[in-house]
Amino acid sequence: MSVALDQTSKVSSRRAQSVLTSPLALLAAAVVIVFLLLIVPLRLPVGPMYWDVFIYYDAANRIFDGQVPINDFFVPVGPLGYYLFAGWVALFPNGHPVLLAHWSLLAITAPAMAAIVWHVDQRSRFTAFALLIPFLIFALLPFNTREMYTYPGSDGFGIYNRQACQMLYVLVAAFTFVRDRRLLVGLIAICMGSLFFLKITGFLAAGMICAYALIAGRVTLRDALIVAVVFMAIIAGMEVSSGMVDRYVDDILMLISLNSGSLLPRILQASSLSFGIVGSAGTLVLVLLWSDWRRLGMQPVEKSSVLTCDSLWLAVVLTAGILYETQNTGSQAFIFLWPVLLAILLKTSRIANKPALVLIISALVAAAALPPAIRIIERTARTYLGAIKNVAMDQRNLKTLGVLNMRPDVEARTDHMMRFYPEHGKLYEELADINELPTPLLYSDFDFQIGYLRGVDTAIDSIREIETKADIRFDTIMSLNFVNPFPWLMERSAPLHVAIGADPGRAVPPPGPQEEQAVADTDLVLLPTCPPTANNKILYTLYEPALTKHRRIKLDACYDAFIHPKFDTVLGPDIIPTN
């Protein structure tokens, strides 16, 4: 009896140890760490184009107000990312903006990867970990694979680009390693539905991969039809419930018209920016094609055998990646090559009698797979270790948007520039007149990002001073700028129909009657002047016809304000803030 109990205890112990050392345990631990880090207000270093993350707060604030993306305001990408972010902000109000935005997609990718690694773990624990660990590097570390500035800092931009890359990683991993029909169909439907509402160019890249998977027999026609039916059911449900899909397609066509241009230069740019990865993966395709040609040439083969070759599968995924990157600035470029590269690496044991070929394939796999992970790990270490001597940003009204630190020299330069801008406004106005920035890297400059936040902080004080003196409240606030954090920070509303992420020429359609009426009805419209820029001038020109009845005042040194005429009798003719 004691022997039987002892054996049972050993079996239970081995099972418990197996569970604790499984890929699922690692994934669960990572998710728990994410939750813990979002509970406390971490102070992160400022980064280039940090203000991109403010777009998510603008969207979340509108969603909390009852506005529906696409229907009620123009969005530069799909609505899914904004809904996910709004949900995570509600759960973790103290979470840092960069971390919240980057990690919000885990609500979809973590369960999907859990299903994949659970399925793969039943055949090979090594392969399951080999899929999971790179995914966690990309999903947990909030950095792009390419630096946009010389100083290390948090990447608050390109978030939806790298989230689409992570969804593509899940999709390619499913096609490459999932053998269960029902699981594969479910994963494809989840990935395609998510990518459609996340970023349309990611959806198109995934469509290319799915089309080849069907042709090559990685998925049957029946399963493809099931996926299509499920996807169309999702689309139909969204259209019937909100009318969003039809407008979404219209917005996509509008964005295409605003961003029209030759595709070839964009392909060359995307390839050159990641030349090491593209060159290595492309060379690997050629080596594998030569190897497959020699192997298949020695025996009669069917067309399906040729199409299932790893060389062609890698070529398709690589091409999809290049096309996707033609539309991106910040991204985690080509991370979804890894599942295919892993499958190729695992098969090299079959040609162990050709050590030279094994060495070449292994070297090319490493050259294509390692750079994204190494760059992100390196950037993470450089950013956070380098922040030890950083100084905290002082702020009064910025909530978590201002929980930042910076190098002392950035703080000193910001102090200088915030005094310089108002004194030399004419110079910057003349630059804006010729459609030039003071420097092409203005929006990447850390001092600009900190200066912008300081300007917002002071403007909120100025607005509240007016409201207190006149006993009024500006319920709707708009900013003639790329971002509009004021409604979120002041717990107000943003006007309907106005674009978020207002980049004129790329993501701001010409305003129609709806937009003009919404702007005309807005209580307070703000124009930043530290410094005046061409984009802000263009936005003012676009909306100027709707502001003819608003009263323009100098709010403070860095902001002009347009006040709705309904406040004229309360404010009087000489209302000017004291600061």
User: What count of other Cβ atoms lies within 10 Å of the Cβ of residue 381?
Assistant: 12
pLDDT of residue 409 exceeding 90, the answer is yes
d(CA 23, CA 31): 13
Lowest mean pLDDT across 56-60, 326-330, 365-369: 326-330
Q: For residue 556, what is the enclosing H or E element?
A: strand 551-556
d(CA 45, CA 116): 35
Q: What pLDDT shows up at residue 470?
A: 92
- DSSP letters for 334-398: TGGGHHHHHHHHHGGGGGTT-HHHHHHHHHHHHHHHHHHHHHHHHHHHHHHHTTTT-EEPP-SS-
pLDDT band at 167; cut points 50, 70, 90: very high
Cα 71 to Cα 78, 244, 447: the distances in Å are 12, 6, 36
435: left (phi over 0), alpha (psi -120 to 50) or beta: left
Mean pLDDT of the 559-568 span: 95
Lowest mean pLDDT across 82-91, 231-240, 517-526: 231-240
d(CA 345, CA 363): 10
Sequence-separated (6 or more) residues with CB below 8 Å from residue 350:
none
Q: Which amino acid is at 443?
A: Y
What does the block give as tokens for 376?
Answer: 């992100």
193 or 571, greater pLDDT: 193
User: What count of other Cβ atoms lies within 10 Å of the Cβ of residue 79?
Assistant: 21
3-state secondary structure 396-426: CCCHHHHCEEECHHHHHHHHHHHHHHHHCHH
Closest CA to 285 of 305, 263, 313, 257: 313
Q: State pLDDT tens for residues 324-347.
A: 998 888 899 999 999 999 999 998
pLDDT of residue 12 exceeding 60, the answer is no
Closest CA to 188 of 206, 162, 208: 206
Q: Which amino acid is at 553?
A: I
CB 556 within 8 Å of CB 457: no
d(CA 499, CA 68): 12
What does the block give as tokens for 78?
Answer: 């799909």
What does the block give as tokens for 254?
Answer: 């509008």
pTM: 0.93
pLDDT of residue 578 exceeding 50, the answer is no
pLDDT of residue 152 exceeding 50, the answer is yes
Q: State pLDDT tens for residues 491-529.
A: 999 999 999 999 887 778 888 899 999 999 999 999 999
Mean pLDDT of the 465-481 span: 95
Q: For residue 560, what is the enclosing H or E element?
A: strand 559-563
pLDDT band at 417; cut points 50, 70, 90: very high
With 0-12 / 13-18 / 19 or more C-beta atoms within 10 angstroms meaning exposed / middle / buried, residue 65 is middle
437: left (phi over 0), alpha (psi -120 to 50) or beta: beta
Return mean pLDDT, the chain. Answer: 90
Q: State pLDDT tens for residues 113-122.
A: 999 999 999 9
d(CA 376, CA 136): 12
Q: What pLDDT shows up at residue 579?
A: 46
Q: What phi and psi values does residue 577 have, to the nearest 5 degrees?
A: -60, 150
Q: What pLDDT shows up at residue 573?
A: 64
pLDDT of residue 301 exceeding 50, the answer is no
Which residue bears the tokens 């259209």? Answer: 239
User: What count of other Cβ atoms lies within 10 Å of the Cβ of residue 370?
Assistant: 16
What does the block give as tokens for 514?
Answer: 């709806």
